Amino acid sequence: MPSHTLKDKVVVIGGASRNLGSLIAREVAADGANVVVHYNAPSSKEGAEQTAEAVKAAGGDAVVHEADLTKVSEVEGLFEVAEGAFGKVDCVVNTAGMVIKKPMAEVTEAEYDRMFAVNSKAAYFMMQQAARRVEDGGKIITIVTSLLAAYTGLYSVYAGSKAPVEHFTRALSKELFGRNVSVNNIAPGPMDTGFFYPAETDDSIAYHKSSAMNGELTKIEDIVPYVKFLLTDGWWLNGQTLFVNGGYTTR
């Protein structure tokens, strides 16, 4: 039976320069993990470096790497950096994503292609590389969205591009039977971060808040304990999507 601890584990985090990914990096480091801090563009480099410094201050080691996760070669490069720096990969947590909110009638082909590249293709090939490279007993987690359980308009291409990840997760979790590797998703409610607000209005923000317990948006601090649980004592959960959202949606 593998040890249910993060001590000396190597965790690759997609989208770790800010918000949820950054907090996950700092929290797993406090439990003894080493972290590969991914960021997607030069504009995020400073945040990624700050995350890496916070990881080291918390007691872990960190390496920073830029990669466009919509390009398979760069996904492969991210994992090669992880193995080059630490000799192995134990866990993968992919928080990377992109949101567009607009009526289906107004979505352009370019927007559709970009959303599926970021939310679906990148997730697929992150999971593929994780499947090839994680140690036996490893953990693979992808952040999706609670809108997968919502009956709503305006998010067709956002939620629609996240939806395939549930199928990827079920398939991969089954394919990895025999290696004690668990594969799961976490589906947060609308999170109180800069990722959420640009697509919303004052009225829609108020509506989202009213739809969850206590009239609040999900906070990144609400999600991290579930990530850590799946990386440790929650190892027996497999092929699942956890809706962590204060009752915003249920399924």
Contact 80, 1 (CB under 8 A): no
Of 39, 124, 158, 248, the active-site residue reads: 158
- CA-based diameter of the chain, in Å? 52
151 noted as active-site residue: no
Give yes or no for a contact between 86 and 34, defined as CB atoms under 8 angstroms apart.
yes
Tokens describing residue 116: 């599926």
Annotated catalytic residues are 158
